[in-house]
């Protein structure tokens, strides 16, 4: 098997693992979420059981909610199997991490595809759209790395922008494919996105809130819009520089990716990072990649917190340099920490303006935004994240 086939086989296995994790959601959630709570209830004394007479009814509703969520995941899995012609074998075993990502997808779907989360989406979308309206109408090619399940692509392409998303999680990719292509009708399905969180609730009914999805018919909206596509893979790997970036878990040295990166150079008018810039082990690779894809005069808009995903991760990765002509490997470090380089927004803006030829156009900090947050009356859910919004213009010649 050559390198390309090997990579293809690995990808197939990864997709299959995610599909199986969708199909096994019910079994997993009944075992790990529902049954353990039934056991706990059974373990307490009759006197204490009497203190919570409605608890068995709550547990029965929890079970039904899991079964309803399972129907959603089953239809996503079936659509994926049919559209990418894959029949995952039962021997492919999803990891606990796969299963927990599947559970957390429910709040991502709520965030992106429900009417209830409109105000949460508006917090960033309104700022982005307001700014984009001030930009020359010819600047229409937008790249959105870490696009999740694709809602921002839909909202912007509806306004006539040509949007390319980029995403490396197969969980997100399979769900985005379902919402964007399966021809869903408005409010077609019901999910219970909050049932995997057991803290902070005012009442049980809040945790068990049913949510109708999607709030729009993404398929029909595609007509008359700007173009829309999603590129699967790591942002730096797909769009980064071909020279001067170290090989790592998110940047590979292969002909295929080299060609992808060469094609990406100076190709976009706007890069939008929404809840993304804090996701990588090396934020400077992200900055270099943004510069690489922008056309001269291009814009970088960022919205989100700086909650560095690897801040507490004690893992390590192998990093090294490769001479692009000889393929010679140099400066190999097989214990480069994933954590580190958690730059403040001041530091990011300073690097962008002093080192990378950006000019600061707009900046706002301390914006409170939810992320998949329940918004019912008297909600006691955590309020959300303090976000930064900035707009930078890349002016390599020093001119505006």
Contact between 127 and ligand SAM (CB under 6 A)? no
Beta bridge partners of 247: 320
Out of 34, 251, 276, 390, name the contact with ligand SAM by CB under 6 A.
276
State the minimum distance, in angstroms, from the CB of residue 303 to ligand SAM: 8
Q: Nearest CA to 174 among 7, 5, 11? A: 11
Alpha carbon distance 194, 400 (integer Å): 47
Judge whether 250 and 236 are in contact, CB under 8 Å: yes
Give how many residues touch ligand SAM by CB under 6 A: 19
Least distance in angstroms from the C-beta of 21 to ligand SAM: 15
Burial class (CB in 10 A: 0-12, 13-18, 19+), 62: buried
Indicate whether 167 belongs to the interface with ligand SAM (CB under 6 A). yes
Per CB under 6 A, which region of 60-68, 167-175, 180-188, 263-271 contacts ligand SAM? 167-175
Among 234, 289, 302, 319, binds ligand SAM (CB under 6 A): 234
Nearer to ligand SAM, 26 or 285 (CB): 285
Closer residue to ligand SAM (CB): 201 or 239: 239
Work out how close the CB of 258 gets to ligand SAM at its nearest, in angstroms, rounded to a whole number: 17
b/e map 296-329, b = 16+ CB within 10 Å:
ebbbbbbbbbbebebeeeeeebebebbeeeeeee
- Tell me which of 145, 193, 214, 240 binds ligand SAM, using CB under 6 A: 145
Does 147 bind ligand SAM (CB under 6 A)? Our answer is yes
Helices (H), the chain: 3-23, 25-29, 36-43, 46-51, 55-83, 96-113, 118-132, 151-157, 170-181, 204-207, 218-221, 235-239, 255-264, 283-293, 345-355
Give the residue with the Cβ less far from ligand SAM, 63 or 171.
171
Give the nearest residue (CB) to ligand SAM: 146
Cβ closer to ligand SAM: 66 or 153? 153
The CA R_g of the chain, rounded to the nearest whole Å, is 23
Cβ nearer to ligand SAM, comparing 140 with 369: 369
Q: Which segment (56-64, 201-209, 271-279, 332-340) binds ligand SAM by CB under 6 A?
A: 271-279
Q: Does 172 bind ligand SAM (CB under 6 A)?
A: yes
Q: In terms of CB distance, is 62 or 117 closer to ligand SAM?
A: 117
DSSP 170-228: HHHHHHHHHHHHS-PPTT-EEE-TTTT--SS-SSHHHHT--EEE-SS-HHHHTTTS--E
Of 88 and 305, the one with the shorter C-beta distance to ligand SAM is: 305
């Amino acid at each position: 098997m050559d390198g390309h086939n090997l990579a293809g086989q690995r990808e197939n296995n990864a997709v299959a693992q995610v599909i199986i994790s969708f199909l096994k959601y019910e079994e997993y959630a009944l075992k790990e979420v529902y049954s353990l709570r039934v056991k706990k209830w059974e373990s307490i004394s009759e006197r204490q059981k009497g203190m919570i007479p409605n608890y068995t009814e709550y547990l029965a509703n929890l079970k039904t909610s899991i079964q309803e969520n399972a129907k959603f995941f089953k239809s996503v899995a079936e659509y994926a199997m049919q559209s990418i012609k894959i029949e995952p074998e039962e021997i492919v075993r999803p990891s606990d991490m796969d299963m927990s990502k599947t559970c957390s997808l429910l709040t991502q779907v709520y965030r992106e595809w429900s009417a209830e989360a409109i105000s949460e989406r508006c917090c960033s979308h309104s700022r982005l759209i307001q700014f984009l309206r001030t930009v020359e109408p010819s600047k229409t090619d937008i790249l959105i790395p870490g696009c999740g399940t694709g809602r921002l692509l839909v909202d912007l392409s509806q306004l006539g922008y040509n949007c390319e998303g980029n995403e490396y999680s197969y969980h997100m990719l399979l769900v985005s494919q379902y919402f964007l292509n399966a021809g869903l009708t408005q409010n077609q399905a019901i999910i219970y996105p909050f049932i995997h969180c057991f803290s902070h609730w005012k009442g049980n009914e809040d945790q068990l809130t049913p949510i109708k999805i999607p709030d729009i018919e993404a398929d029909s909206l595609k007509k008359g819009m700007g173009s829309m596509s999603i590129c699967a893979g790591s942002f730096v790997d797909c769009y980064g520089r071909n020279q001067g970036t170290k090989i790592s878990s998110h940047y590979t040295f292969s002909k295929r990716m080299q060609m992808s990166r060469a094609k990406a150079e100076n190709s976009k008018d706007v890069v939008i990072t929404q809840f993304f810039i804090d996701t990588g082990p090396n934020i400077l690779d992200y900055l270099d990649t943004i510069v690489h894809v922008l056309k001269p005069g291009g814009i970088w808009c960022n919205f989100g917190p700086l909650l560095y995903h690897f801040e507490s991760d004690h893992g390590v990765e192998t990093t090294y340099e490769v001479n692009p002509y000889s393929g010679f490997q140099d400066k190999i470090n097989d214990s480069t920490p994933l954590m580190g380089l958690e730059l403040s927004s001041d530091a990011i803006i300073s690097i962008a303006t002093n080192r990378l030829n950006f000019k600061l156009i707009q900046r706002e900090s301390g914006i409170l935004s939810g992320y998949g947050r329940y918004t019912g009356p008297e909600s006691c859910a955590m309020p959300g994240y303090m976000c930064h919004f900035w707009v930078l213009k890349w002016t390599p010649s020093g001119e505006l």
